[in-house]
Structure 1
Amino acid sequence: MLAVALAAVLCMGGGVFWAVADDDPQPAKKPTAAPQAPDDIRDTVEKTPRTPEGRLVIDYNEDEFKKRFKRDSAHAPGAWATDKNFVRGVGNTLKGFKFGAFEEDWSTELTGPICDTTRHVTADGRTAVLLQERENKADEDDKKKDDKGKGKSKKSKKGKDKKDKDSEADAKDEYSCTQLAFIDLNTGKKLWQVKLPDAKGAFAPNTNVTMARGTVAVAWGYGSVAYDMKRGRQLWSSLGTGECRDLGFAGGRDLLALTQCGDGAEPQFKVQKLRPRTGKAEWTYKVTRGVGRVYLVSSDPAVLAVSAGELTVTNLITLDDHGDYRATINMPEDRFLDNCYKPVVSGVESCDAIVVGKDQLFVATDEGRLADNWIVSYDLKTGKTVRKFDSKPDLPIHPLRVSGGKLLAFRPSSDGFAPAAVLSLDPRTGKETPFLLFGMPDRGKLEDPKQSEILLEDGRIFFAPRELTAENGGPWEGTALGALGFEGA
Structure 2
Amino acid sequence: MSFGPPPSMITQSAPTVERSRAGRRRRVIAVVVVAVLLVGAGLLWHHSGGRTKGRTDTTAVKQAPDAIRATVEKAPESPEGQVVVQHNEGNLTDKPRYAPGTWATGKILARAVAHRIEGYKIEPGYDDMAWKLQLDGHVCAVSRDVTADGRTAVVVQPPDSGKKGVCDEVLLVDLDTGKKLWQKKMPAADFAYVTNTNIALTKGVVAIAWDLGSVAYDMDSGRRLWNTTLATSQCHDSGYTGGRALLALVTCGQADDTTYRVERLDPRTGRVLWRYAVSRGVQGVYLPSADPPVLAVEAGDSEVTDLLTLDPKNGKRLATLPMHGYDPKCGEEAYPGPFFGVVDKCDGMVVGRDRIFVMSKENNGDLEKPADRITAFDVGKGTKAAEFEGRPFQLVVPVRTNGDDLIIYRRSMDDVRPSAIVDWNSRTDKETPYLLFQLPEDDEGELSDPERSDIRYEQGRAFFARRVMERDYIHPKSPILSVIGVGSAGLKH
TM-score with structure 2 length normalisation?
0.84
- 1:408-487 matches, cutoff 5 A: 408-444=407-443, 445-473=446-474, 477-487=477-487
Give the Å deviation of 1:413: 0.9
Give the Å deviation of 1:16: 2.9
Aligned to 1:107: 132
Conserved 8 A contact 1:311-1:341: no
Q: 1:385 to 1:31 in 2, by over 3 A?
A: closer
2:141 counterpart of 1:116: yes
Q: 1:20 to 1:237 in 2, by over 3 A?
A: farther
2:250 counterpart of 1:259: yes
Conserved 8 A contact 2:294-2:310: yes
Q: Deviations over 1:138-158 (max 9, x none)?
A: xxxxxxxxxxxxxxxxxxxxx
Conserved 8 A contact 1:58-1:483: yes
Task: Select which of 225, 228, 240 maps to 1:238.
Answer: 228
Aligned to 1:16: 35
Query: In structure 1, what is the Cα distance between the partners aligned to 2:409 and 2:130?
Result: 28
Aligned to 1:488: 488
Task: Select which of 67, 87, 93 maps to 1:60.
Answer: 87
Q: 1:204 to 1:416 in 2, by over 3 A?
A: farther
Task: Select which of 260, 272, 276 maps to 1:281.
Answer: 272
Give the Å deviation of 1:119: 1.1
Q: Deviations over 1:340-388 (max 9, x none)?
A: 3442232211112211111111111121655421111111111111112
SS at match of 2:221: coil
Query: In structure 1, what is the Cα distance between the partners aligned to 2:406 and 2:34?
Result: 31
Aligned to 2:3: none
Alignment size in residue pairs: 432
Task: Select which of 282, 304, 309 maps to 1:291.
Answer: 282
Q: Deviations over 1:108-131 (max 9, x none)?
A: 101111111011011100000110
Give the Å deviation of 1:424: 1.3
Task: Select which of 89, 105, 108 maps to 1:82.
Answer: 105
Query: In structure 2, what is the Cα distance between the partners aligned to 1:133 and 1:185?
Result: 21
Q: Deviations over 1:432-452 (max 9, x none)?
A: 221111121123311111110
Aligned to 1:3: none
Give the Å deviation of 1:30: 9.2
Query: In structure 2, what is the Cα distance between the partners aligned to 1:95 and 1:365?
Result: 34
2:279 counterpart of 1:269: no
Task: Select which of 240, 265, 273 maps to 1:249.
Answer: 240
Task: Select which of 58, 66, 89 maps to 1:31.
Answer: 58
Query: In structure 2, what is the Cα distance between the partners aligned to 1:251 and 1:416?
Result: 41
Give the Å deviation of 1:468: 1.1
SS at match of 1:61: strand
Give the Å deviation of 1:17: 4.1
Which protein shows a greater Rg? 1
Aligned to 2:322: 330
- 1:125-144 matches, cutoff 5 A: 125-135=150-160, 137=161
Aligned residue type for 2:150: G
Query: In structure 1, what is the Cα distance between the partners aligned to 2:34 and 2:204?
Result: 48
Conserved 8 A contact 1:472-1:478: no
The structure whose residues are more often helix, as a share, is 1
SS at match of 1:326: strand
Task: Select which of 177, 198, 204 maps to 1:187.
Answer: 177
Give the Å deviation of 1:335: 4.1
Query: In structure 2, what is the Cα distance between the partners aligned to 1:209 and 1:290?
Result: 26
Q: Deviations over 1:298-327 (max 9, x none)?
A: 011110000023530010000112211000
2:80 counterpart of 1:43: no
Give the Å deviation of 1:269: 0.9
Give the Å deviation of 1:175: 1.6
SS at match of 1:83: coil
Aligned residue type for 2:455: I
Give the Å deviation of 1:223: 0.7
Q: Deviations over 1:233-252 (max 9, x none)?
A: 10001112212100000000
SS at match of 1:265: helix
Query: In structure 2, what is the Cα distance between the partners aligned to 1:249 and 1:302?
Result: 12
Q: 1:415 to 1:130 in 2, by over 3 A?
A: same
Task: Tell me which moved more, 382-391 or 30-39.
Answer: 30-39
SS at match of 2:147: coil
Query: In structure 2, what is the Cα distance between the partners aligned to 1:174 and 1:310?
Result: 33
Q: 1:218 to 1:191 in 2, by over 3 A?
A: same
Query: In structure 1, what is the Cα distance between the partners aligned to 2:157 and 2:363?
Result: 35
**Higher RCO (CA-CA < 8 Å; seq separation 6+):** 2
Give the Å deviation of 1:21: 5.6
Task: Tell me which moved more, 15-24 or 269-278.
Answer: 15-24
Conserved 8 A contact 1:217-1:249: yes
Task: Select which of 109, 114, 129 maps to 1:91.
Answer: 114
Q: Which runs of 5+ in 2 are unaligned?
A: 1-29, 48-55
Aligned to 1:354: 349
Query: In structure 2, what is the Cα distance between the partners aligned to 1:462 and 1:20?
Result: 27
RMSD: 2.1
Query: In structure 2, what is the Cα distance between the partners aligned to 1:389 and 1:17?
Result: 23
Aligned residue type for 1:37: A
Query: In structure 1, what is the Cα distance between the partners aligned to 2:259 and 2:172?
Result: 33
Query: In structure 2, what is the Cα distance between the partners aligned to 1:341 and 1:418?
Result: 28
SS at match of 1:174: coil
Q: Which runs of 5+ in 1 are unaligned?
A: 1-10, 138-169
TM-score with structure 1 length normalisation?
0.84
Aligned residue type for 1:363: V
Q: Deviations over 1:415-439 (max 9, x none)?
A: 1453110111110122222111112
2:392 counterpart of 1:365: no
Query: In structure 2, what is the Cα distance between the partners aligned to 1:30 and 1:297?
Result: 22
Aligned residue type for 2:105: T
Query: In structure 1, what is the Cα distance between the partners aligned to 2:182 and 2:365?
Result: 48
Conserved 8 A contact 1:134-1:174: no
Give the Å deviation of 1:469: 1.8
